[in-house]
Structure 1
Amino acid sequence: MGKQEKRKRSGDDSDGEDGPSTSGKEATVGMRTSHIKNKLVRSEMYAKLRSKDKKKKKAERTKRQKEDEKAMKSGLEPPPRKQQKTIENMRVKDETMVTADDEEVAADEEQDEFSEHFARVRPPKVLLTTCYKPSKIMYTFLSEMLEVLPHAEYYKRGGFPLKKIVQFASNRDFTDLVVFNEDSKEINGMLLVHLPDGPTARFRLSSLVLGKDIKGHGRATEHKPELVLNNFGTRIGRRVGRMFASLFAQDPAFRGRRVVTFHNQRDFIFFRHHRYIFEEKEKRITGAAAVKKPGEKTPAPSKQNVVQARLQELGPQFTLKLESIQKGTFDSTGGEFEWLKTRKMEAKRKFFL
C-alpha cells in the first residue's frame, strides 16, 4: 500500500503543515501532526517536520552568529536576541507586588506582629520541637538547626498537643515556636508560630540534605549569622520573609562569616547555610595586565598573590513550600486563614510570594 492510499485511508491528503488551530500560538510538531489518524503516516510526517524545523533553527542560528560577528567587527552592539521562554517569564505575576517606596506597606509593617523584633525591643528566643515519635534522623537534623539558630532551645514533645506547647512557650517568653514533622522517617513538614499573637505558617519540607552528607561541608561557629532573603516581593511574600527574619538576631556577627539564605523561586523557598572563605592564591598574569620591564618588547608573564572568596556550605539544605498562613496561634479547628493554598491556585500558573 502506497503513501497516497494510506493518506486517503487516514482521511488526510495534506502534507501535515495545516494542523488544528492553536489559537495564535506557534504550533509544535506534535500539534501539526496530531490530526493524522494513521499511525505510520503520522510518524513519517512527524519525522519530516521535525527535520525541517531543525534545519530552520540551524539556519537562523548561523545567521544570528554572522550578524553578531559583523556587529563586533564594526564596533556596534549586536542585534537584540529573542527572549527565551521560561517558567518565570511565562507565568502570571501576582498583583500585590510591593515596591521599595510603598508607604502603605511600610506603615502596616511598623504596627504588625514583628515590629518589636525589627525595632530590637524583643530579641529572638526560639523553641524547637518535633512530632510525637521522632526518629534518629530528626535528632541529627535538630542538632544542625540548633547551630543555625543560636537563640533556639530544644524541648522534647512528649505527648503534649500543640496548643499546650504554644501556651507553654508563651508563658516562658519564647518569641517563636518551630515544629518539625516527619512521616515514615522522612522529615516532611514545618510549622512556624510567632508568639504570643501569631501568625502561624505551615510549610511542606522536602529535598532535605543533612550537613554531614554534603561534600566538603564545614562546622558552624557560635557567631550570629547574617540573614539573606531573596525574591519575597508580594504582600504575602514579605510577611513570610518577616516571619523568617524574626528567628534571627538583628545584629549579626560578621566576623563569623556565616550566612543563612532563604531564596524564593517560583514559590519554592530554598534554605542554605554557608560560610565565606577567603584564601590567598598565586595567580599568573599575562597580556596587558603584566608588568613590562625595560628592554622587553612584550611583557613577560608574572605571578601575583591575590585573595579569592568562596562559599563553604555548612548545612543542612532543604526546600520549603508554603501551605497556609493562619491568623493568631495554632488552631486546627476554628482558625481563620490569611492565605491558603488550593489546587486551583496551582492551575493558574501564578506566583504568590
Structure 2
Amino acid sequence: MGGKRKTNENEGMEGEEDSKHNIKKMKNEKSEILPSSIKNKEKRSAVHAKLKHQKKLDKRKKLKARDAAAKRALELGEEPPPKQIPRTIENTREADETVCMPDDEELFAGNDADEFSAVLKQDRTPKILITTCRFNSTRGPAFITELLSVIPNSHYHKRGTYDLKKIVEYANNKEFTSIIVVHTNRREPDALLIIGLPDGPTAHFKLSSLVLRKDIKNHGNPTSHEPELVLNNFTTRLGHRIGRLIQSLFPQSPNFRGRRVVTFHNQRDFIFFRHHRYIFETKEIKQSESKGKKAKDTKGESISKEKVIARLQECGPRFTLKLVSLQHGTFDTKGGEFEWVHKPEMDTSRRRFFL
C-alpha cells in the first residue's frame, strides 16, 4: 500500500511540473504573438510599438556593453574588440571571375591595342558628334544643350531623316571620334547610344532619373575649363571596357587647377552621372590678440585673417545610366555581333553585378 501511495505522489508531482511547464510555454507563446496576427487595430499597433521599443532598448544595451568593453581594454592596455562591419549588398557580392586585378598583365597589354588607345594616348583629340532620334521631343534639345556644355569639343547635328549608318559614314569622313545619340520617348529622353569611331564599339544605355540644370536647387553654371573625369567602381572586364569608352569622350589633359569635375559612379550596375564645379571663397576670421591679463591693457584688439574655403556646387544635368548591350563595331541591328546583352534571366540574384 505504501509503495502505491509513493507512486501516486510521484505521479502527482510530475503532473504539477508538466502543468507549470505548459503554463510557461503558453505565456511565452502569448508574448511572441506577431502583431500581424492580431485583428484589432489598436491592440496590433500597441503590440508593434512595444516590440519596437524593446528592440531599441536591446540595441542600446549592446552598444553600451561594446563601448564598455572597448574602454576596459584600453585601460588594461589590451587590443579593443574588432569593429563589426555591416552586411551590405556590395560587400556580400557574388564572386566574379572577370573582376580586374591590379597585377593583370593581359588586361594592360590589351589596353594598348583596343579601339580607345589612340584617343587615350592623345594621338587623336576627342571630337564628339551629338544627335537625336528621328522623332525629337521638347526635353531632348534642353538635355543636348547641357551635354554640349559638359563634353568639350562636342558638336550638335540635326538628325532629320538620315539613317544612323549614313551618320556614322559622315562622322568618319569629318574625323569625329564618337557619336552620342539621344533617344526620346513620350517627350522624355530615355536612352543613350554611344558609338566609338571608326571601329566601334557601340554601347546602348537606358537613361532614367533625368534632372536638368534649371531644376537643381542652387545650381551653378559650368566654366570653360576642361573637366577632371572621375570613374568609380568599374571593376570587371566589362566595366573596364565601358569605363574606357566613357573616358574616350573627354580630353586626356584636364585642367586640374580648373573648376570642373565630371563623375561617373557605378553602384549595383547603375551609373550615376554628376557634374560639379569648385567654388573658392575668402572669408575673414577675427582673432582677439589679447588673452588673460593683457586684455586690460590692450582693450581687446582683434586681428582679421583671410582664409580660403573650397566647396562644390552642382552644375547639372543629373541622370542615371544602365547598360543594355555592348556591340562589336559600329551600329548594326541586323548583322551586328554583341559582346554583352542584358537579359531578364540574369537578374536571378540581387548580389550579382556585371560592371
* Alpha-carbon shift at residue 282 of structure 1 (Å): 3.2
SS across alignment from 1:88 = coil
CA contact (8 A) 1:131 1:179 kept: yes
2:226 aligns to what?
224
The structural deviation recorded for 1:58 is 3.2
Letter aligned with residue 64 of structure 1: R
Over residues 287-327 of structure 1, what are the superposed CA-to-partner deviations in whole Å (9 max), with x where a residue is unaligned?
xxx98969679xx9986432111111111111111111111
Correspondence list, 1:33-182, <5 A: 53-71=55-73, 78-182=80-184
Could you tell me which amino acid in structure 2 is paired with residue 328 of structure 1?
Answer: G
Tell me by how many angstroms 1:199 deviates: 0.5
Contact 1:16 1:45 in 2 (8 A): no
Q: Which string of whole-angstrom CA distances, capped at 9 and with x for unpartnered residues, describes residues 178-200 of structure 1?
A: 00111111111100000111111
Determine the structure 2 residue equivalent to 1:318: 319
Deviation string 1:53-90 (CA, Å, 9 cap, x unpaired) is 44433321221233344456667664223221222122
Following the alignment from structure 1 to structure 2, what is the Cα–Cα distance between the partners of residues 45 and 311?
47
Q: Which amino acid aligns with 1:339?
A: W
TM-score between the two structures when normalised by the length of structure 1: 0.80
What is the identity percentage for the equivalent residue pairs of Structure 1 and Structure 2? Answer: 50
Which has the greater radius of gyration?
Answer: 2
- The answer on whether the counterparts of 1:217 and 1:312 sit within 8 Å (CA) in structure 2 is yes
- Gap regions ≥5 residues in structure 1: 1-11, 18-28
AA partner of residue 155 (structure 2):
E
What is the alpha-carbon distance in structure 2 between the residues aligned to residue 295 and residue 46 of structure 1? 62
Q: Please, what TM-score do these two structures have when normalized by structure 2?
A: 0.80
What does residue range 151-300 of structure 1 map to in structure 2 within 5 Å? 151-283=153-285
- Unpaired stretches in structure 2, ≥5 consecutive residues: 1-24
Once the two structures are superposed, what CA deviation does each residue of 1:241-289 show, in whole Å capped at 9, x if it has no partner? Answer: 100111111112334321111111111111111111111223467xxxx
Q: Larger deviation: 312-321 or 93-102?
A: 93-102
TM-superposed CA distance for 1:152, in Å, is: 0.7
- Report if aligned partners of 2:130, 2:154 keep a CA contact under 8 Å in 1: yes
The two structures, once aligned, show a CA RMSD in angstroms of: 3.3
Aligned to 1:21: none
Aligned to 2:4: none
Query: Which residue number corresponds to residue 3 of structure 1?
Result: none
Q: Distance in 2 between matches of 1:148 and 1:204?
A: 19
Per the alignment, residue 348 of structure 2 pairs with: 347
Q: 1:9 aligns to what?
A: none
2:309 matched to which residue of 1? 308
Offset of 1:223 from its aligned partner? 2.1
